[in-house]
Amino acid sequence: MYHLVKYWAIHMKSGGNYAETAHKQGFIAVRWKIGDLTLLKHIKPSLLKNEIQELSDKYYFAVTGQGVGSIKRFVLEVRKDDYVLLPNPNERTVHFGQVLGDYEYVHEHEDDCPYPQRRAVQWLTTISRNRLPEQLKASLKSQQTFFSLKKHKNTIDEILKEVEADKDEIEFNTTLLEVCGNDEDLASVLTLAGFEVPEDLSDVDHEDLRAILAEQDYTLSNKDTKALFEEVEKYLDDINEMQEGFKDRTESIPERQAVTTQRIIRDNQTSAQLKKLYRFECQICGIKLQLPQGPYAEAAHIKPLGSPHNGPDILENLLCLCPNHHVLFDNGAFAIDDDLSLIGLEGSLIVSPKHKIDQKYFSYHRTHFAK
């Protein structure tokens, strides 16, 4: 049966103490202490209010008129694939997720959230409240426990669309990095992508590789990511076919040549400090990327390290960015004015009071990189 996807929001009360648990464990829950509500599915709509009131009296748990509406929505109206937003007051963030199944009464559970009325959720992304449109933020201040966000459908769809685009970019970059771990294929794959790289990249990490590519003024953003991704996949398929064809041939061991490379020694502690300060949220878009291994962000140097720029590896010369905005910034697709407004993009740079950025690095970036 066709189901029109709906949009909801939930407040898990208790000052948001259980919101992070729900996010980590993949569920939403409410604190109504009135027993298993599965039986409501078999009650006539006209009798639902009386039934809920009887349960309220039975368990000595007061349910307001608004509460009755929230119970009906949470238990009876939500369907699989509906979207749900969960504000986390402690972190000043909002989790975006998608409902995975039916209402459940979970009397015994291993997590620290005592709420038994639950629904499983797949969390898609987490965004800072400050990055949300004002109208959506206003609606999320509702005093109701569980309520509809139908009027914000288009806004939520647009946010999730941007998140999917970011995930495509991350998946592509991750695949390239996995290829980069293979000494036999790395140089060939990057050459296919249009880069000029050394034949031996076994000692080149992600950040050094980015610097090599940036010096050529040619990065992944210069091509359509999906098209390039398909080219890389095709190339790897061709490599596999070639290897199959060579099985019957005489094996030959290629010669190896010792080389000496120079690498910039980065201050990883400073980068980690920066990312922790911004909770891994991009200072441009506010998006926090969540990978299976944990949150992900990149430390971008305003004045690049290494020759010919020789920028310092200090907090005053660093920004916390998502991969997309890191690439765009490094290649001059946008710049930052002295008043922190963005040049080439809408909006302003998000800056923590604890992060003192030296304006001279913005000036240097505008002079040398802004298109």
pLDDT classification of 250: cutoffs 50, 70, 90:
very low
pLDDT cut 70: percent of the chain above it = 70
Higher confidence at residue 60 or residue 86? Answer: 86
- Which residues have CB under 8 Å from 122's CB, separation 6+? 26, 97, 98, 100
- 340, 334 Cβ separation under 8 angstroms: no
Of these ranges, 62-71, 143-152, 166-175, the one predicted with the greatest mean pLDDT is: 143-152
Per residue in 261-306, pLDDT (tens digit) is: 444 445 578 888 899 899 999 999 999 998 888 889 999 999 998 7
C-alpha 319 chain-centroid distance? 17
Report the pLDDT averaged over residues 120-130: 91
Nearest of 159, 25, 148, 167 to residue 94 by alpha carbon: 159
pLDDT classification of 237: cutoffs 50, 70, 90:
low
Per residue in 310-361, pLDDT (tens digit) is: 888 899 999 999 999 999 999 999 999 999 999 999 999 999 988 999 999 9
pLDDT exceeds cutoff 90 at 167:
no
Domain definitions of the chain by residue range: 7-148, 165-243, 268-368
Using CB atoms within 10 A of its CB, is residue 93 exposed (0-12), middle (13-18) or buried (19+)?
buried
Q: Which tokens is 17 given?
A: 């103490």
pLDDT cut 90: percent of the chain above it = 38
Strand, coil or helix: what is 342? strand
- Kind plus residue range of the DSSP H or E element containing 93: strand 93-99
Distances (CA, A) of 70 to 10, 117, 199, 218: 9, 12, 62, 53
Rg (CA), the chain: 26
Nearest of 62, 6, 7 to residue 34 by alpha carbon: 62
Nearest of 327, 344, 326 to residue 335 by alpha carbon: 344
Alpha helices in the chain (DSSP H): 19-25, 48-58, 65-72, 134-139, 153-180, 186-192, 206-215, 225-245, 268-277, 323-330, 359-368
Please give the pLDDT value at position 60: 73
